[in-house]
Amino acid sequence: MLNIPSQSFPAPGSQQRVAPSGQSGRNKVALKPGHSLMDWIRFSKSGKDLTGLRGRLIEVTQEELQKHNTRDDCWTCIRGMVYNVTPYMDYHPGGEAELMKAAGIDGTELFDQVHRWVNYESMLKECLVGRMATKVTTLNSYSMTSLLCAVCCLCRYDWFQTDVTVHLVLYAKRKIQISIRKQAKVKWTRLGQPLEFHNTFLRKKDRALYYRDCVLVSKTQVNHNTHVFRLQFPRGTVMHVPVGKHVYLKALVQDTEVVRPYTPVDQNLEAASLRSSQESDLYLMIKVYPDGVFTPHLNSLCIGDCIPISGPEGTFNLRPLRDVTYLYLIAAGTGFTPMTRLIQLALQDIDTIRKTKLLFLNRRKEDILWRCELDELAANTDRFQVEYVVSDPCESWTGRTGRVDESMLKDFLNGPDGSKRYVCVCGPDAFTELTIGCVI
């Protein structure tokens, strides 16, 4: 039985998907020349009036928001703030159609489904129209109890030096704003004690990502354009990133916050069995694109410099692997990075997997990542097999050539009758979609 998981690896909407330089992993359209992320940053900093309000901020009613729902006049609301996204239409990697889904309405839920990790406040700062007008809502007894609990929790914390505004989302999606004014604008001398399990009213998926400043400890070259960056968490922090999950890195590029997802690897293919439980340094294998937005900045960091890194994110689930006997991994380029820890997991921790096979596609021979380690691993265990494919071979190349197609996959995915097989695919969007289409 061949199992192609409905939660593709990574998931179709995941920002863990690998993509060309300067792009994220969601569905994209071909942008016009001069409309890259860097072009948008330059355009938004040009001083032009992108809101049409000449610098004024206004309070926007629901009725007013609904009026601005066309391609040439498009407003949307994200977390109570209204933006005129009309100037951003031609710069949006997901295309005009994706932005228009949120035209004239509250687009928070749509936004979170695709890219909750993006700092829209920084990206759309010059497009800010104003705040949504709040409506007075009559509270029932349950809602009032929740409101009082929120105020009590804040008072217990004693954290704030200045006035505090609290946004509380109650049942039936009623939103309430509470302003707490301090009599004396000084910092409290002690911290209150929070009630157990009552430190937040937000579900994890609704919370903003939490970043820690990590120190670049070393940078090891893998090939001509790819390095392994070793990053150290703050003292006292031990963080484990589960297999199949990713983290986000962020940096200021031309005064605009840029965020990118990366999947951790181990120091090498043998490191998982040797790693101490107390070691939590993060290893990221990253290809540096000379014309990219984020990777040139990352590559310019010196040893000892800091970069903010989020906690683990992602929806990939290892549970289906429990009953698998043959695991097939199909990777293109840096889509190989999520596969490294899957290989280690299958060989070291899941005895029921009899065979793990990797089909690794690249443009040229010198693009192949960790080839020596993969060859050594295949030579040392009959439970692992790797096959390389290059689309632009040199004269000395004797391996397989070409691009992924149905014939290549049929040959690769062979296995004993009755075996339970599982396929993981990672690479550029077009590659991933073509591969899944051929296999299914």
Most confident listed range (16-25, 176-185, 192-201, 374-383): 374-383
b/e code 348-365 from CB counts within 10 Å (16+ = b):
eebeebebbbbbbbbeeb
Whether the per-residue pLDDT at 405 is higher than 80: the answer is yes
* Angle (CA) 46 51 53, round 5°: 110
Banded pLDDT at 201 (limits 50, 70, 90): low
Render pLDDT for 136-181 as a digit per residue (tens, 0 to 9).
555 454 455 555 555 555 544 444 445 555 555 544 445 556 666 6
Tell me: the pLDDT tens digits for 210-265?
Answer: 899 999 999 999 999 999 999 999 988 888 899 999 999 999 988 888 999 999 99
The CA distance from 249 to 237, in Å, is: 17
* Residue-level pLDDT at 21: 36
Q: Are the beta carbons of 292 and 21 closer than 8 angstroms?
A: yes
Q: State pTM to two decimals.
A: 0.67
Tokens of 130: 């104003």
Give the strand pairing for 2-3 and 421-426.
parallel
pLDDT, the chain, mean: 82
Residue type at 270 in one-letter notation: E
pLDDT of residue 180: 62
Q: Which one has a higher pLDDT value, 143 or 429?
A: 429
Give the chain as a 3 state SS string.
CEECCCCCCCCCCCCCCECCCCCCCCCCCCCCCCCCHHHHHHHHCCCCCCCCCCCCCEEECHHHHHHCEECCEEEEEECCEEEECHHHHHHCCCCHHHHHCCCCCECHHHHHHHHCCCCHHHHCHHHEEEEECCCCCCCCHHHHHHHHHHHHHHHHHCCCCCCEEEEEECHHHCEEEEEECCCCCCCCCCCCCCCCCCCCCCCHHHCCCCEEEEEEEEEEECCCCEEEEEEECCCCCCCCCCCCCEEEEEEEECCEEEEEEECEECCCCCHHHHCCCCCCCEEEEEECCCCCCCHHHHHHCCCCCEEEEECCECCCCCHHHHHCCEEEEEEEHHHHHHHHHHHHHHHHCCCCCCEEEEEEEECCHHHCCCHHHHHHHHHHCCCEEEEEEECCCCCCCCCEECCCCHHHHHHHCCCCCCCCEEEEEECEHHHHHHHHHHHC
What confidence score (pLDDT) does residue 377 get? 95
pLDDT cut 90: percent of the chain above it = 51
On whether the CB atoms of residues 80 and 167 are closer than 8 A, the answer is yes
Q: Label the pairing between strands 175-180 and 164-169.
A: antiparallel
User: Considering only CA atoms, which of 101, 105, 73 is closest in space to residue 87?
Assistant: 73
Compute the average pLDDT of residues 316-337: 93
CB of 126 closer than 8 Å to CB of 44: yes
Distance CA 65, CA 83 (A): 10
- Cβ distance 429 to 27 under 8 Å? yes
Cα separation, 232 vs 238, whole angstroms: 10
> Who has greater pLDDT, 191 or 115?
115
pLDDT digit string (tens) for 88-132?
A: 999 998 888 889 999 999 998 888 877 777 778 888 989 999 999
Six-digit token string for 353: 């997997």
Tell me the per-residue pLDDT of 277-291, one tens digit each, with 9 for 90 and over.
456 799 999 999 998
Q: What distance in Å separates the CA atoms of residue 356 and residue 346, rounded to the nearest whole number?
A: 7
Q: Which of 115, 119, 173, 164 is nearest to 143 (CA)?
A: 173
